[in-house]
């Protein structure tokens, strides 16, 4: 397997929570129904994950936020469910495996994505 793309992103949790409070429609624009109900630190990490994924995919125009959903496995391990525009770009690049790591500590949420083909 070859690495096709790597992306990393960070989000200030308090600043992100303030943005969500100031612009209520942002929560609907960025997150799926299942993601929206999570606490601010988790939402900030998921936003960072979507940004990191976009970077790993080469940041093409037209990716839809809802086409990349962060879900948690029973073990708690995060993973992406991709569809639509995101799945199409991943297929175009030959992505066979998508790895995701999330963390939040000291007021910062971090996400890293590695794409393998």
pLDDT tens-digit map of 6-47: 999 999 999 999 999 999 899 999 999 999 999 999 999 999
CATH number for position 36: 3.90.470.20
Residue 87, domain extent: 3-116
Give phi and psi for 60, each to the nearest 5.
-75, 150
pLDDT tens-digit map of 91-102: 999 999 999 999
pLDDT tens-digit map of 38-87: 999 999 999 999 999 999 999 999 999 999 999 999 999 999 999 999 99
Cα 101 from chain centroid? 10
Number of domains in the chain: 1
Query: For position 1, what pLDDT does the model report?
Result: 85
pLDDT at 112 over 90: yes
Query: For position 87, what pLDDT does the model report?
Result: 98
Distance of alpha carbon 7 from alpha carbon 48, whole angstroms: 10
Is the Cβ–Cβ distance between 61 and 11 less than 8 Å?
no
């Amino acid at each position: 397997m070859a690495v096709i793309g790597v992306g990393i992103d960070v989000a200030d949790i308090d600043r992100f929570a303030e943005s969500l409070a100031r612009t209520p429609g942002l929560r609907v624009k960025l997150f799926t129904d299942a993601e929206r109900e999570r606490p601010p630190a988790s939402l900030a990490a998921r936003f960072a994950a979507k940004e990191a994924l976009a970077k790993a995919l080469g940041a093409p125009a037209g990716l839809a936020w809802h086409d990349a959903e962060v879900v948690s496995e029973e073990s708690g391990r995060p993973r992406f469910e991709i569809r639509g525009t995101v799945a199409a770009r991943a297929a175009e690049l030959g992505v066979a495996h998508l790895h995701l790591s999330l963390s939040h500590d000291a007021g910062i949420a971090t996400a890293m994505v590695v794409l393998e083909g």
